[in-house]
Structure 1
C-alpha cells in the first residue's frame, strides 16, 4: 500500500516539476492556494476553494454545487544568508547543488459538491525547508584544528499531504467537516558537527552508541559529518508515510457574518529511514567515510487549533481574520538521529536540542470584486518566532514571521477561473551565540518571495 501511494505521489509531483518547498512559518506554508495566500493565509471561515482540505474542511460546504478541479503550483524563492559574527565570513544558500531553490510545490484537487454534501481529495505540499551552502564556506570548516572538509551543508524537507475530506450542511447555518490525510515526509540532510559540538552533546548525554569509542579513538578528531540525500526531483534520503486528521465547522452568525473553528491533529508518521554516510573528520587522516543506514526518529508536524471570522461589508467587499495556535513544542523538542554502520552494525545516536515554542499566528485579509471578471485580494500575516536563537541550525533557518500578500482572480469563463497570489516574507534576523548547535556564533538573515498560481474549473 505504501509503495503504491509513493508511486502515485511521485508521479504527481514529477508531473509539475516538483523539487521541495521552503517553509515560511517554521515548516508550514503561510496559507494554501491562491485565494488564502492572497488574503494573509486566512480560510477558517471563508471559501478558499479546494484548499479548504488543508485548513478547515467544513468550508468545502461553502463552494458552489458541481464538480470542481483545481491544478496549481507554488514557487518559493528564498534569500538566506548566514554570517560567522566572529570572523565576518558569510555564505548564501543557493546555486551550490541540487537542493538549491527556487522550490516548487504542487496543488492538485477534486471536489464534488451537492447539497448537503461535499467530498474532496487532493495533493498539497504542507511545507518544508530547503538550504544549500556548498562545500567551501566556513560551515564546512571545523573549529577544532581548522580543517577544510570539502563536505556539503544542506537540507531539503517536503511534507506532502493527500487529504480525503467531506463536509455536511447540518442546517442552513451550520456546516461540519473532516479530513483523513495520508502524509509523506521526505528529508535530505548534509551537516557538519565540530568536535566541540559533539563533546557538548556527549556531556549532556545526547550522544551514545557503540561507535562512540571508535570515533573518540581517531587521532586528531576534528568533527563528524552526516549525509543522507536523494537528488532527484522527488523524495529524500530518508522518508516515511503516516496519517493525520482534521475536524472543522462553520456557523452563519448573521447573513453577512460567518465564524469557523478547526483542529488539525499532530501527524503520526513513521521514523524516517534511508541510506547514509558518516564522515569522521581527522586533522591527520582527513575524512574517514563510513557507510550505513539512518533513522530520524519521531519527526512529526504539530497539531494546530484555528479560529476564523469573515464579514461581507458589501456584496463585493469581504474582510476575514484568522487566529491559529500551533503546538510546535510537542514535536520539535529534539531532532533524534540514529546511524548504523553497514559493516559491523556499530551505531551512533545523536539528539540535537531544538526546544521550539508554541506559536500564535494572526492573519487578516480582504477581497474586493471589481466586476464579473476580476477580483483582487490583499492581506498581512504574523507568526511568533518558534525557534530559540541558541537552537538555530544553519541548515534549518525557518525564521520569517511577517508576510505581506496580494492576489487576484480572473474569470476566463463562467466556470473557468485563474487565480494567482504573491506573498513577501519580510527579512528576519536571528542569532545563535554558538554552542551545541553551532561551533561558531552565527547570524541568519532570511527573506523570501512566494508565488502561487492555480486554474479552477467547475462542470
Structure 2
C-alpha cells in the first residue's frame, strides 16, 4: 500500500522535501498509539475536528482549507496550491453526572476523570492545475462514559465506548473558476465497549444480569463535497458523508448479581449516521471573515443486535433520533502571519429519552470556542480551546429507561502543525 501511494506521488513529481514512506510509517504509528482511546461524545457540540474548524465553532464547510477538509468538505482540498502535510490531535476532558429523581432507588453517579486523544493526520498533493489528491485519517464519531467499576444496585451502568476512526482517500477537482467538487472513499475502524445491565426490551432494566461487551471491526463508505464561489465575498459549501456500516466481532462476559456466569463470542453491525452539511463563508472586510454551518444527522430507529455463537440473540434498544446542529464562527487576520478565531455551536440530542442512560448520555448542548493560527515560511501552526455543556431531564414516564437529570460538560484542546512542500 505504501509503495502504491509512493508511485502516485512520484508520478506527479511532488516528493521534494520529505519521504512519503517515512510519513506513512509515522502516520500508522501515530494512529496505533491512539487507537485504544477512540471516543468523543455525542455531546461534542462544537463539531470540531482539527484546531481551525474547532476554533470556528465547527463552521468550516465553506472554508475547509487544511487536512480537516477530509471531514468537513473534501472539495476544499482544491484550495491547496502547494503540497501540504499536517499532524495534530485533540484532547478531550469530558465530565458527566447523573442524578435519579427523588423517590427512585439509587443515588448520584459521576464519571471518572479521563482524557481522550483524537489524532488527525494527512497529506494533500496537487497533481495538476485542476486535480488535488489527498490521504487523511481522523475520528468523525465517538461517544463514551466511564463510571465506577463497583457493582451496586441501581448504579450498574459502568462504561461505554463507541468510536470510529476513518482513513479517507479523496480527489478534488476544480471544475470551473467558481465550482470545486470532491469525492472520497472512507475506510473505517470501529470499536465498541458496552458494560451495562441487560435492557433488551428497552422499557425496563434487569440489574442482576450484567453484560460486558467488547469488540471491533471495519467498514467502508463514501463522501461528496462541493464549494461554490458566489462572488468575491461569499462562498457556499455543501458536504455529504454516507452512513458507514461496520461489522464488529468480539466477546461478551455475563454476570449475575455481580458474579461471573459465562462468556461467549458475538458478531454485530453498527451503522454510523450520515451527515449533510451546508455552510456559508462571508468575507465581511479586508481582515474579517464570518462563517455559518448547519448540519443534519438522520436518525437510526434500531438497536444493537448481538448475534452470539452459543447464546440467543440479544438486542440492546437504542433508537437514536434525527438531530441537527448549528455553528457560527469568525476569523480576524491580525497580520500576514497571525489569525484569531472564535465560535459558537448548538446541538440537539440524538439519544431519545426512552433509551437515555448513564453510559449513553446526551442532551441539548452548547459550545464556546476560540483559537489562533500562525503561518510563515511554509510552516503552519494552529491551536484551539472549546468549552461545551449539555443538560437534560428525563421524566418518569412509562417507557423511559432511566429517568433523572443528566449533566455533561468538558474541555477540548486542539493543536496541529503543518508543512507546505
Q: TM-score, normalised by structure 1?
A: 0.79
Secondary structure, aligned partner of 2:112:
coil
- Residues 1:255 and 2:218 aligned together: no
Does the aligned pair in 2 maintain the 1:390–1:432 contact within 8 Å? no
Q: Determine the C-alpha separation between the residues in 1 that align with 2:207 and 2:94.
A: 32
Mapping of residues 47-446 of structure 1, within 5 Å: 47-63=64-80, 65-85=81-101, 86-87=104-105, 89-95=107-113, 101-113=114-126, 114-136=128-150, 140-142=151-153, 153-193=158-198, 197=199, 223-228=208-213, 237-270=214-247, 272-281=248-257, 287-296=259-268, 298-327=269-298, 329=299, 331=300, 333-340=302-309, 345=310, 347-399=311-363, 401-411=365-375, 413-431=376-394, 433=396, 438=401, 441-446=403-408
Shift of 1:123: 1.0
Q: Determine the C-alpha separation between the residues in 1 that align with 2:118 and 2:215.
A: 19
Does the aligned pair in 2 maintain the 1:400–1:446 contact within 8 Å? no
Secondary structure, aligned partner of 2:272:
coil
Q: Determine the C-alpha separation between the residues in 1 that align with 2:388 and 2:38.
A: 18
Secondary structure, aligned partner of 2:360:
coil
Does the aligned pair in 1 maintain the 2:353–2:400 contact within 8 Å? no
Shift of 1:404: 1.2
For these two proteins, the number of residue pairs brought into alignment is: 395
Where structure 1 has 5 or more consecutive residues not aligned to the other structure, the ranges are 2-6, 96-100, 208-220, 229-236
Distance 1:121 1:321, change over 3 A: same
Secondary structure, aligned partner of 2:312:
strand
Shift of 1:66: 1.4
Q: Determine the C-alpha separation between the residues in 1 that align with 2:347 and 2:215.
A: 29
- Residues 1:455 and 2:417 aligned together: yes
- Residues 1:19 and 2:37 aligned together: yes
Cα RMSD, aligned residues only: 2.7
Does the aligned pair in 1 maintain the 2:183–2:223 contact within 8 Å? yes
Distance 1:252 1:441, change over 3 A: closer
Q: For each residue in 1:284-322, what CA deviation from the matched residue of structure 2 results, as whole angstroms up to 9, or x when unmatched?
A: xx62420111233x3111112111111111221111111
Does the aligned pair in 2 maintain the 1:24–1:425 contact within 8 Å? no
Please say which of residues 35-44 and 396-405 is displaced more in the overlay: 396-405
Does the aligned pair in 2 maintain the 1:35–1:48 contact within 8 Å? no
Q: For each residue in 1:323-363, what CA deviation from the matched residue of structure 2 results, as whole angstroms up to 9, or x when unmatched?
A: 11111x2x3532222334xxxx3x13222332222122211
Secondary structure, aligned partner of 1:171:
coil
Secondary structure, aligned partner of 1:134:
coil
Q: TM-score, normalised by structure 2?
A: 0.86
Distance 1:163 1:88, change over 3 A: same
Where structure 2 has 5 or more consecutive residues not aligned to the other structure, the ranges are 2-24
Q: Determine the C-alpha separation between the residues in 1 that align with 2:280 and 2:43.
A: 21
Does the aligned pair in 2 maintain the 1:370–1:376 contact within 8 Å? yes
Equivalent position of 2:4 in the other structure: none
Does the aligned pair in 2 maintain the 1:403–1:424 contact within 8 Å? yes
Q: For each residue in 1:359-390, what CA deviation from the matched residue of structure 2 results, as whole angstroms up to 9, or x when unmatched?
A: 22211111101012210001111122222212
Does the aligned pair in 1 maintain the 2:157–2:358 contact within 8 Å? no
Query: Which consecutive aligned stretches of 4+ in structure 1 deviate over 6 angstroms post-superposition?
Result: 7-10, 434-437
Q: Determine the C-alpha separation between the residues in 2 that align with 1:88 and 1:15.
A: 38
Secondary structure, aligned partner of 2:230:
strand
Does the aligned pair in 2 maintain the 1:70–1:110 contact within 8 Å? yes
Shift of 1:400: 5.2
